[in-house]
Structure 1
Amino acid sequence: MYISDEKIKLPEDCDTVVWKYLDLSKFVDLLLYRKLFMSRSDKFEDQYEGTFSEPTFEEIRKLSADNPDFLDFYKTRRKNIVVSSWHLNEYESFAMWQIFTQKNEGLAIQSTLGRLQKALEVERVYEQHIGAVNYIDYKKEYIPFENSFFPFLFKRKSFVYEREIRIITDVTSHQLIIDNGLKIDVDIQSMIEKIYIHPKSENWYKNLVIELVKRLGFDFAIEKSDLESDILI
């Protein structure tokens, strides 16, 4: 299910390219168990995750003056929202390689919005939602709260470089106690269109990734990074 609103502009083209940058251990975990890890929203580095901008908070505070449970609902809900983050970009991102991989090792999964939606169809327990993050000034701009997912689809302008698409799940009704996150079923073959190996990785690492993918029974296209140059000066 796509989340759409006049302030949340998810691309309409299902062939829109999205990326996920991750280290080898997380990639192997994904292929081995065929499950996508989703992080608990209040575990992200950004402490504003799932909160409101100042104008919105003031409105909610007034509404909750005679009903404190109204505000408590939003505070506690962060523990029950899990998120898988993807990067919207037609091309590879040097910044994403730098942020999400280390020691010149790691991979990037290339997918599309359509592929993500199809890949999530195998999950029967948890309902999935896909939305684009909107980047705003939290001191001045308003975050609507008629949709309970909206606090998780807005971030401060400082993070605009992320160009984030999110898969979001609310597990409140399942009465779970989640530690760091939750794994959901996905169709790996549908989700992954191509794999790109870190542009600065050595040949032994590239060969390791190719062999791992083969031994785990997948036949994804594995591409050389477009940021890896053959030009010698």
Structure 2
Amino acid sequence: MYLNNPNITLNADPDTIVWKYLDLSKFLDLLMSKKLFMSRSDKFEDQYEGTFSEPTFEEIKKLSINNPDFLQYYKTHREKVAISSWHINEYESFAMWQIFTQNSEGIALQSTIGRLQNALIPENNYKQFIGEVNYIDYKKEYIPFDDMFFPFLFKRKSFQYEREVRIITDVAENKMTLNDGLKINVNIDQLIEKIYIHPKSENWYKNLVIDLVKQLGFDFAIEKSDLESDILI
């Protein structure tokens, strides 16, 4: 189970539904390895990932005048943090299908906040937390920096549609080197409640996914997305 950090608040109810959209190869890698891939924070497309807003950065620069290593530490810390992003939504999201799956062979994992918390297997090698992302104006609003995880729990308002909750792993203390990211041990049966197949996929594809999941020894509920169901007139 994830560690408790008194500085990080997760306001969502444990039964809050969350989703992860991914392609078949990543899904199979998750099931076969029983490990969840987390991307290194500075490898995301958003170049502001893990950085500070302008008001906070100006304050940090003042504090760094007599201690230049202070600012440098914050810059390099992004290389030591890995993130797994999940989307909070009661229902499927057409936009998330479009953004995070490249073709009609995508998969959506449905879980809950509570399942994410219980799926994490404690590790001695690094710190791990779950937090909900705050969306702010990076030109005007302040990001606190009294906790090293805070920069990774804030994003620009233009990303509000993501409604993101994150699993965050920090390997700084044990001097691990992250390349593209990190794979962490998880309880797959806790992590996944249900699987949805891409709304534009063919029936043969759904049957293929069902067969593959069974062969790997899992028994998840698998459904075809109904976002493309027949129109009733």
Contact 2:109/2:193, CA 8 A, preserved across alignment: yes
Q: Deviations over 1:1-22 (max 9, x none)?
A: 35566xx763341111111000
State the partner residue of 1:144: 144
State the partner residue of 2:200: 200
Gaps of 5+ in 2: none
Is structure 2 residue 99 aligned with structure 1 residue 96?
Answer: no
- Which has the higher mean CA deviation after the structures are superposed, 134-143 or 119-128? 119-128
Cα separation, 1, equivalents of 2:222 and 2:15: 19
Q: What is the CA distance between 1:167 and its match in structure 2?
A: 0.3
Q: What is the CA distance between 1:121 and its match in structure 2?
A: 3.0
The aligned amino acid for 1:226 is: D
Q: Deviations over 1:181-233 (max 9, x none)?
A: 01010000011000000011111211111111010000000022131313366
Runs ≥4 residues deviating over 2 A = 1-5, 8-12, 121-127, 230-233
Q: Within 5 Å, give how 1:81-160 maps onto structure 2.
A: 81-121=81-121, 123-160=123-160
1:4–1:94: structure 2 CA closer, same or farther, 3 Å change rule? farther
Q: Deviations over 1:120-179 (max 9, x none)?
A: 035454331000010000000000001110000100011110000000011012212211
Gaps of 5+ in 1: none
1:90–1:49: structure 2 CA closer, same or farther, 3 Å change rule? same
1:4–1:157: structure 2 CA closer, same or farther, 3 Å change rule? farther
Cα separation, 2, equivalents of 1:152 and 1:164: 11
Is structure 2 residue 23 aligned with structure 1 residue 23?
Answer: yes
Q: What is the CA distance between 1:67 and its match in structure 2?
A: 0.4
Cα separation, 1, equivalents of 2:61 and 2:75: 12
Cα separation, 2, equivalents of 1:175 and 1:4: 24
Cα separation, 2, equivalents of 1:40 and 1:126: 14
Q: State the identity as a percent.
A: 74
Q: Give the secondary structure class of the aligned counterpart of 1:19.
A: strand
